[in-house]
Amino acid sequence: MKLRLFAICVGLTGSLLAVPALAQTGNKPAAETMAPGTVLISGPAGQVTLAEVRMLVDEQVPPSRQPAFWASPKSISEAARNLYGYRALAQQALKEGLDRQPGAAAFLNLQREKALAEWLMQQRGRARVGDPKVLEQFARTAYKAEPERFRHMEQVRIRHIMVVPERDDKEGVMAKLRAESLLAELVKGTDFEKLAREQSHDRNSALKGGDLGLFDVGGMLPEFDAQVAKMKPGQISAPVRTKEGYHLIKLVERRPAGLAPFEEVAPLIHAEAQEKLYGDERRRVWQETANADTVKVNEAAVSELARPPAVPSPAKSK
């Protein structure tokens, strides 16, 4: 009797669900474009392909958390390793004839039923989340019901170019000179975003033209807060020193305190709505089946099983 993949994957649920939630973006993850047969891990027990990991993730990770999963090399690697480990152990079990032991058939059938039940709940949950009208209505209702969640203090949007000192530049003299040189280029008219992409040592923000996003006033690094407080939108600062190095800061905009528009917070609310709808649908399917009125519990047998064992009488002394 062969151990099927969907039957042995049930035990992986906990580790996969540990992936944090992350707002979805419009870009398709590589998991949707890479060849399904791409081998992610191999060993004496065989190979684990992208198709197998993708199937596992689709069935075990809520839709709102899948972008975070596919953005994490560690999560992908661990899932592939777990699948390989189960495959290798299953092969070892077959070699030892464990599938022919008394009770093996019943155990394997139970695991199969659990896996199929899980699969059904996953499919129903995904179908519920996949309805864009339901998702949008749920998200807008949540936005209107909890407006305080989406109120913000005065905010600023900034970009920066960071210059990190080299190891032999302990005092940061050369880094400051480099920052001043970049500032001179900006004064001459060089585009800030272009220069950030090409020269900033903060590669995460450099990919976005140095964009650091929105910050509450007073919620940035102290050096940034002090500098930005003196600036107007469109202005670029002189080099600002922090523990990371020197920064050229551009103030993009100031936003007064108020309620963030729905469109701005929609990615976050949609992710939350996906997880809520997904979980609610799973629970609904379970409740309607496992706790249906037609299901009868043998109370007498349960009570008998729960009865404490009889305590033997102490032996009489002779």
* Residue 13: band (very low, low, confident or very high) from pLDDT cuts 50, 70, 90: very low
pLDDT of residue 6: 35
E strands within the chain? 39-43, 46-49, 151-152, 155-163, 211-216, 240-242, 245-255, 258-259
CA 318 – CA 313 distance, rounded (Å): 15
For residue range 110-153, list pLDDT tens digits in order. 999 998 998 899 888 888 887 888 888 888 999 999 999 998 89
The 3 state secondary structure assigned to 176-225 is: HHHHHHHHHHHHCCCCHHHHHHHHCCCHHHHCCCCEEEEEECCCCCHHHH
Residue 27 has pLDDT above 60, yes or no: no
Quick one: average pLDDT of 49-55?
92
**pLDDT at residue 22 is higher than 60:** no
pLDDT range class, residue 315, cuts 50, 70, 90: low
Torsion of CA 297, 298, 304, 307, to 10 degrees: 20
Percent residues over pLDDT 70 in the chain: 90
Residue 3, pLDDT above cutoff 80: no
Give the model confidence (pLDDT) of 226-272 as tens digits: 999 999 999 999 999 999 999 999 999 999 999 989 998 888 898 88
